[in-house]
Structure 1
């Protein structure tokens, strides 16, 4: 197996671009979500950020709700860029269209579910772990496919 050129007009690339756009939108959503949550809870990171009309506003780095959102965002920042890279390389292995699309979709759905059960509607760790592990397995499979293409 050798690497193939990516067909930038093909179905796999279009699906990759769509999935990446949805994942980037999700990561962008954290910025206003964190800001609004800070304002609502009066929990600011720096003294200069405090809005004078908010009563009981304070500088804090341990507001439970704000920190939960920040941790979910950080988790995305620790996982989604790796997916972007390995999925790009995976497209160069010449995968079947259906398998590639399914892997991309499973990863994206898992990352959305991870955010929902971690930051939006907190559930026990098992739900978050399941979403994380399934996405991790998708990346692992694609990584193995890339490694095999390098050496076979």
Structure 2
């Protein structure tokens, strides 16, 4: 984005900002998640993955690839469980450590910051922070109007 290698259409920039807002709503500020039980923290991380999956489904090209890479980096969340289980019946899931939960939450906050800085391309091919929206074609991100 910064070196002009790829441009972000205004609809994609809007989608990225809406995804960022949804991620912020799910994860909250630093220190918030640590007050919650592990089960709720894991729920929130899974909701963040759902936000990314839906946003990825609603775009193509570089933005989709960026969102898909972020989702891929967070796939360990899908192997975590918060409930005790007999290893033979846990489908390969493992309980996450407190550090792993905190690291995933921190990564989502960083992703939120990156998504809020996606510049939109103007009609002249230049990127800016334009709010022109193609929302009817893009749909919405969970948790957003």
Report the TM-score range of the alignment, normalised by the length of the smaller protein. 0.3 to 0.5
Bigger radius of gyration, 1 or 2? 1
Whichever structure has more helix as a proportion of its residues is 1
Higher relative contact order (CA 8 A, sep 6+): 2
Q: TM-score, normalization: structure 1?
A: 0.36
Q: TM-score, normalization: structure 2?
A: 0.37
